[in-house]
Structure 1
């Protein structure tokens, strides 16, 4: 199954897989290395293969490199402390990092100069404080493309980093989120005060608690995504910008399901205090409705800021209120 879906009202139509990258097969005699043909984790620039993801990350160190991850389910995790690393599935959707969290945090703990993730699956990550994630981003920019996050406490979680950027494109977030642990609520994506966040052409579905997308970034853009909550359980807002934000929420498709911890709004702006101005935040060309058989009156946008939001050309189903000042 390809781990990414087109989001703009396609409801499950899959994106074509990326081209499969050739595995380099150059035998190397090096510590923790093996022939790339046999390796689970291969540094493409050197041709060296490694038996653990951490060994491959350490081999790149503070340099720049690409780790190709072979097809399979790998109980492996890694901490990136330097450099700029691309983590790439040899076959998109067939390389899974699951079941193991480094530092009690995530499959990938990123605090180098930057990272890129392509075609990976992250699954079954749980930790004691309830914030087990596929990716914990602590430093540097990150781009995630055509990846699938499922059946964990959290998909992607960032620290604060006001000069950095998170970009997510053509990715899927399934059965994520919880509010039942000491670390507070976990979400499909949680972005701290990280400068900017951009999420495009991605699908959120079957949430199990928390919000689907919560961002404290000063600028947040969400475009051409689907938020399918029809089979969610105990979920809250679909998009939560708790401290306000500039940016845009444009061309998305939303369905609210029956099993909600909080059904009062689809999109919340400034509910935890407006640190960032939402003046000019554009919310346009979205389609939002309730799942069949539901009868309630949520707000499409609930706003605590009083800033000058731009709402236009949104299509709302029966019962939805366009805007509510709170």
Structure 2
């Protein structure tokens, strides 16, 4: 090896950079895909360190499951969408990805077909830290995303799709959020959960804005939105539609399992709620207890609109 080339090679080793990776700010970029350093995402997950970026080339990755425990990490698809097909595999028996890091951002991935022995296999099982999911799709999993109940955890979902998730037992959902600190969902779409809810959150604070939570005529979801443990919930500028084949008469439910959080207030502003259940349903059901409810600017359409107001908003 000659002079300049040798010096550059040694410098890379001295600063800890892996051969085949490139610097990206404070961390390193690890490339995954055909002809790249890593053939599988799982390999990159084992090598990546705090502050790194993992770039995955567009295409299908089958049974390529991974665990992410870094304190800070960016995971992004490059050159198009990346489809992660479970094909019977799962990380720790939980899902396609298990995330329990500090601050992890995921962009441009499709998670499909997650199954588990407990019938709660998730596209992503989120256990601790802060997770941001941007422009991702979750289809045909037992849960799209399933969180643990770490009270310091935060989940952010932006511009993503959840469709056809659920095991059919009513205990798994398109998005199932446990008792975490905060959930924020914006500009996303939730459709046709299999027997479960379109979106279920037990978080202390739930921010739900500008989303589509709608069933098709063939959809068999239960609630469109359930907040079973109350908390601070701001629900604004969403479109919710209950299809004719729904398995539950109510569209939105608040506090059905009690109010464990110190503050419990539901703000339901400027939403469109469409009830297409032939027998009519309940737009909003609120359980009794120490809570506040603020309703403003909501439009009610469908079968329930012609029924008594106490059936449209029950318990308020």
TM-score by length of structure 2 reads 0.83
Match of 2:5 in 1: none
Match of 2:7 in 1: none
* 1:121 alignment counterpart: 110
Q: 1:106 to 1:232 in 2, by over 3 A?
A: farther
Specify the SS of the correspondent of 1:281: strand
Task: Determine the structure 1 residue equivalent to 2:178.
Answer: 192
Q: C-alpha separation between the residues in 2 aligned to 1:232 and 1:196?
A: 32
Q: Please tell me whether the aligned partners of residues 244 and 305 of structure 1 are also in contact (alpha carbons under 8 angstroms).
A: no
1:2-34 per-position Cα deviation (integer Å, ceiling 9, x unaligned): xxxxxxxxxxxxxxxxxxxxxxxxxx99xxx99
The counterpart of 2:82, out of the listed 86, 91, 95, is 95
Query: Aligned partners of 1:120 and 1:110: how far apart in 2?
Result: 14
- Superposition pairs of residues 109-188 of structure 1, within 5 angstroms: 109-180=98-169, 185-188=171-174
User: Aligned to 1:273, which of 246, 253, 258?
Assistant: 258
Instruction: Find the counterpart in structure 2 of residue 297 from structure 1.
Output: 280
Q: Is the Cα–Cα contact under 8 Å of residues 250 and 284 in structure 1 kept in the other structure?
A: yes
Q: Which residue of 2 aligns with 1:311?
A: 295
What TM-score, normalized by structure 1, do the two folds share? Answer: 0.81
Aligned residues: 284
Task: Please give the root-mean-square deviation of Cα atoms over the aligned residues, in Å.
Answer: 2.5
Q: Secondary structure of 2:47's match?
A: helix
The worse-fitting range, judged by mean Cα deviation, of 71-80 and 49-58 is 49-58
Structure 2 residue 41 is the aligned partner of structure 1 residue 53: yes
1:81 aligns with 2:64: no
Report the Cα offset of residue 239 of structure 1. 0.7
Are 1:65 and 2:52 matched, yes or no? yes
Decide whether aligned partners of structure 1 residues 116 and 305 sit closer, same or farther in structure 2, where only a CA change above 3 A counts: farther
Distance across 2 between alignment mates of 1:34 and 1:133: 34
Kindly state the Cα deviation for residue 119 of structure 1 after the two structures are TM-superposed. Answer: 0.8
Bigger Cα displacement from structure 2, 243-252 vs 224-233: 224-233
Q: CA deviation at 1:301?
A: 1.0
Once the two structures are TM-superposed, the CA of residue 279 in structure 1 deviates from its matched residue by 4.1
Q: Deviations over 1:90-138 (max 9, x none)?
A: 034x211111321111111011222111011111111221111110001
Shift in Å, 1:278 = 5.8
Alpha-carbon distance in 1 for matches of 2:258, 2:66: 35
Structure (1 or 2) with the greater helix fraction? 2
- What is the CA-CA distance between 1:190 and the residue it aligns to? 0.6
Question: In structure 2, the residue corresponding to 1:193 is in which secondary structure?
Answer: coil
* 2:45 alignment partner, SS class: helix
- Whether the aligned pair in 2 keeps the contact of 1:60 and 1:83 (CA below 8 Å) is no
Task: Report deviation, 1:260.
Answer: 2.0
Greater relative CO (CA pairs within 8 A, separation 6+): 1
Q: Distance in 1 between matches of 2:238 and 2:262?
A: 22
Per-residue deviation, residues 271-326 of structure 1 (Å, max 9, x unmatched): 111112564421010001134xx432312110013422001110001314431019
